[in-house]
Structure 1
Amino acid sequence: MAGLVPSARRLMLLLVVAWISSSSSAAFAQSGWSEPIAPPAEPEPPPAGPNPDWEEPPPVRSEDSAPRNPDWVEEDEPPPMRKVKRSASELYGLRYATRSLTMPRGMMRGTFDTVVGRDTVAGSSSAETVSTMSFGAAITLADDFEIGFSRYRMASFPSISLFPTFGFGGEGLIAFSMSPEAQFGDIPFYGRFEALDREVVKLALDAVFRIPTQTNFGFLGGATLRFVIQDRFAIDTGLDFTVDHNSQGPELWSLDLPLKLVANATDRLFIEVRSGMTIYDLSQTIRTVTSGLLQGPFYFIPLGLRAGYTVEPRATMLDIFASFGFPTLYGFTTRDSSLTPETWQVTIGLNIYSPALFKGSAL
């Protein structure tokens, strides 16, 4: 009897343990921990259509017209931009007093002038009327290098050289005199190189050949200087040496020392006062021809005034000017001197400048 008690206790203990185990398994199964862990789900792709939250409302009636709505952006391609050619005044400068001594590369200049005046004959009190007309042209082939068939050169017009026409013109690509007798004039061909072009000082070297149709062959070689003061004033001077062929004897040698004061009263209006000195016949040719009756050299001091105005028709530029002067106002030699106001001249002319006709060098 005593041996059955432990056996009964063991049986009761096993039943309790079995009941506890079955209860725990049922609770664990209900919690879901017995199932395997599933992999994470793939994210859904964004919708292919536009987001309705970002759509702009349709334009109202006031927005229908694109030109009136500054926020409207046209989707059409803009028209192609055309290259605008720079005007002559932009390239060369509007103020006459501050221009360079040569034109910009590719620019062309046409010149015209007519001269009317009275010329004393052989130093006597009698005088004759002189009238001439000249057309010329010039072009800048490369930087700082200009050529032309014209008696006009910047800061060197009009020349104070006396031979052969005493400053009365009649020289150009097409030139002729109308009085005292009708005839064609000589053709000057020049080349100019601007060796120095600074803001306040400019220097050019000149070579001029006179092709004779009326007189004789001649040559001028020299230098032209321009000093610019405060963007409105300039002093033009230089040194010109001339050699003129003389069919009756030795060549005539002369030396010219021009002096001009140029001022721009406005950007377009310019005024010029000119003078200087001409030493004529350094070679004593006249003394040889006249057998000592007239003995040189002869010194002449001219005096003149010129006024001009610049206009801009379209892309070109035009200088219109008029001048009055005495080419031999005061003359003297080592033996004598005299005033000659009887010799005077009036000049009216114009220069027309084109825009740049080509790029790069034409040489």
Structure 2
Amino acid sequence: MSLAFLAQPAAALAQSGSWGEPIASPSKPAIPDEPEPAEPNPDWADAPPTESEQRSATNPDWVEETEAPLVGNMKDRASEIYGIRYANRKLTMPRGMMRGTFDTVVGRRTEDAQGMGQPFGPTGTISTMNFGVAISLAKGFELGFSRYRMGSFPGVSVFPTFGFGGEGLITFSMSPEAKFGDIPVYARFEALSREHVKLAFDAVFRIPSRTEFGFLGGIPLRFIIQEQFSFDTGFEFTVDTNPAGPSVWSLNIPFTFIANATDQLFIKVHSGMNLFDLSQTIRTMTSGLVNGPFYFIPLGLAVGYTVEARSTMMDVFASFRFPGFYGFTTRESRLNAETWQVTIGLNIYSPVLFKGRAL
């Protein structure tokens, strides 16, 4: 019996359920299923990709920049520091800024001023070229060699050149004869700078090269309306040496309205009054003479445009003016549209070149 049991095949030895059933062969172990990934922690989740990252297939982490990054030592733009709108600027430049000026004047003068012992200034066809420069050495303080001053250009004085230029650091006339002109040296201090009102003090000395020594003391005023309109006025008292007689004492009251049609386009309407030769006026009124000195009221229109060039700024302008449009004496008055002048010029503003408390 034992031999018969050993003769049975191996499969008969395995049982699955009971002793009477064969034993099944062992099965391979089942591979466990991988767990599903858990949801990311919202506190550690990355931000959604930007449009540039989604668009870039080679480098999804690259972000395109539309503007170049700022460099720490870049100079401030003149338009941001001084203002792009001409009507909204202060009477003095910011500290450390420079201004170069150029203007050329072409016109004709047909009549001489009244009240002088002899005619003064050029007559006929007149043309001049004038270069100047100015710098702001401290806050509210400006020094220059130029006939241009913010809020005081063009001037209303008629003596000695009747408003035809011939003044600047480098200046010369081309007609009626070629000559170098005078050099104006000015200092301006802005004593009041409010949002809507600006006030300054001027001291201008004319160093003679063509005419005679002169001095101007002024108080320019600027009233700003809604950062787009301004009204320039003030008082200017002048003393000019007159080789033909006593010194000429005059009073100027300018009136200029400025409107910025856009941030860069501006329009100026210029007028005012020049009380010419006050000492002669007193003599005329006390003596009862018929012929007295002239008082002049100019009239002019100017159009300008401000151009930004990197960190610098430039004003380009053109004007047409009657320097003695209406004149009157103590006994008579008359219009004069035969004396006129055309001016084309530009002012270039640098960025702030230096800072600090020291001059």
Seen in structure 2, the aligned counterparts of structure 1 residues 362 and 147 have a Cα distance that, compared at 3 Å, is farther
SS in structure 1 of the partner of residue 79 of structure 2: helix
- Give distance in 2, aligned partners of 1:135 and 1:155: 18
Q: Which 5+ residue runs of structure 2 have no aligned equivalent?
A: 1-52, 64-68, 115-122
Report if aligned partners of 1:286, 1:294 keep a CA contact under 8 Å in 2: no
| 1:324 Cα deviation after fit | 0.1
Equivalent residue number for residue 68 of structure 1: 59
TM-score (norm 1): 0.75
Is 1:229–2:225 an aligned residue pair? yes
Quote the sequence identity (%): 69
Is 1:113–2:84 an aligned residue pair? no
Report if aligned partners of 2:230, 2:257 keep a CA contact under 8 Å in 1: yes
Is 1:341–2:345 an aligned residue pair? no
Report if aligned partners of 1:251, 1:285 keep a CA contact under 8 Å in 2: no
Equivalent residue number for residue 99 of structure 1: 89
Match 2:311 to one of 312, 315, 333: 315
- Give distance in 2, aligned partners of 1:71 and 1:307: 48
Equivalent residue number for residue 207 of structure 1: 203
Seen in structure 2, the aligned counterparts of structure 1 residues 129 and 83 have a Cα distance that, compared at 3 Å, is same
| 1:311 Cα deviation after fit | 0.4
* Residue pairs, 1:166-315, within 5 angstroms: 166-284=162-280, 295-315=291-311
SS in structure 2 of the partner of residue 175 of structure 1: strand
TM-score (norm 2): 0.76
- Give distance in 1, aligned partners of 2:231 and 2:264: 18
Report if aligned partners of 1:249, 1:285 keep a CA contact under 8 Å in 2: no
Greater than 6 Å deviation, 4+ residue runs: 285-288, 291-294
Report if aligned partners of 1:284, 1:295 keep a CA contact under 8 Å in 2: no
Aligned CA-pair RMSD = 2.7
- Whichever residue aligns with residue 340 of structure 1, its letter is N
- Give distance in 2, aligned partners of 1:67 and 1:296: 88
Q: Which 5+ residue runs of structure 1 have no aligned equivalent?
A: 1-61, 73-78
- Give distance in 2, aligned partners of 1:298 and 1:215: 21
- Whichever residue aligns with residue 100 of structure 1, its letter is K
- Give distance in 2, aligned partners of 1:80 and 1:273: 40
- Whichever residue aligns with residue 336 of structure 1, its letter is E
Equivalent residue number for residue 152 of structure 1: 148
- Whichever residue aligns with residue 276 of structure 1, its letter is G
Greater helix content: 1
- Whichever residue aligns with residue 135 of structure 1, its letter is F
- Whichever residue aligns with residue 82 of structure 2, its letter is Y
Report if aligned partners of 1:282, 1:296 keep a CA contact under 8 Å in 2: no
SS in structure 1 of the partner of residue 87 of structure 2: helix
Return 132-141 or 248-257, whichever deviates more: 248-257
Equivalent residue number for residue 88 of structure 1: 78
| 1:142 Cα deviation after fit | 0.3
